[in-house]
Copies of this chain bind each other. A is one copy, B any other.
Amino acid sequence: MVDQIENEGMKSLIENITAIQVESPVDKIIGQLKQLIVSGQLKPGDRLPAERVLSERFGVGRSYIREAILKLEFYGLLRTNPQSGTYVAGLSINVIDNIISDIIKFNKDDFNALIEARYHLELNAVKLAAERRTDEDLESIKSAMEDYEKKASTGGDAVEEDMVFHIKVAKATKNSVIESMILILVPDLIKNIVQNKICGDNRAKTAIEEHRKIYAAIESQDMAKAEEAMASHLDEIWQISKAGFAAQNIINEAEV
């Protein structure tokens, strides 16, 4: 156990230490690959040197090379053909450069950015959901809503039930990309929301009302009303979040 005294100083020290070695091997590799491309040694469409070669050239194990390639593949910058090789996407160097630069620093721990992105995404999502929802979607959303109400009325924080409600709405958009994006944000949202104690008894009561409004709008397929209801729902969370975050932004214990 760490001493309770002087844990402030200890914290900043720890942060410095982790900050120094924060450059993970894979990010370094990605950076070097970027350099290869930007410098012209590797042109779009070219085949990458074999993993073994890269491994040796960068002085690192092949596992890291594979991990880096995997990450870049997710972003569509590389394409790997089994038993043949890995190829650079046919994008211009400018595009590749821009994207790689930001892959390295892609982290969702910017609280405001997270909430803001969620806000815009969900506003669009609820409109699409209202437009396209099937009866099955409606059933699913309703069920999630009732779960939330049950949990919230017993006093517990129903953050996760709330999120399930929103996930079900996202599913009703019939747009897998938008749905996936919301899905990516959800765990971080939950973490931040519970961390900043957005949830109180009075809040839960009003949220129930808001959910019902959203549901009703989706049911009647009223896109405008759905957007309005979602906006007021999220606005409130946003405001509380900002206040709570300002008060508690020191406490960032690294637990799951």
Contacts and interface: CB of A to CB of B under 8 A. Distances in A.
A183 B113 contact: no
Interface stretch (A9-17, A50-58, A73-81, A236-244): A73-81
Nearest to A189: B76
A113 B176 contact: yes
Q: How large is the interface on A (under 10, 10 to 19, 20 to 34, 35 or more residues)?
A: 35 or more
Interface string A101-118: 011011110101110110
Contact of A178 (B94, B117, B180): B117
B177 A110 contact: yes
Most buried by B among A88, A89, A102, A177: A177
Contacts of A160: 91-92, 94-95
Contacts of A256: 45, 79, 87-90
Given A160-B95, A161-B92, A164-B95, A180 B77 contact: no
A190 interface: yes
Given A63-B63, A117-B175, A117-B177, A186 B110 contact: no
Contacts of A180: 102, 106
A184 to B, nearest CB: 6
Given A92-B161, A95-B167, 9 more contacts: A76-B184, A76-B191, A91-B190, A92-B160, A92-B164, A94-B164, A98-B183, A110-B176, A120-B124
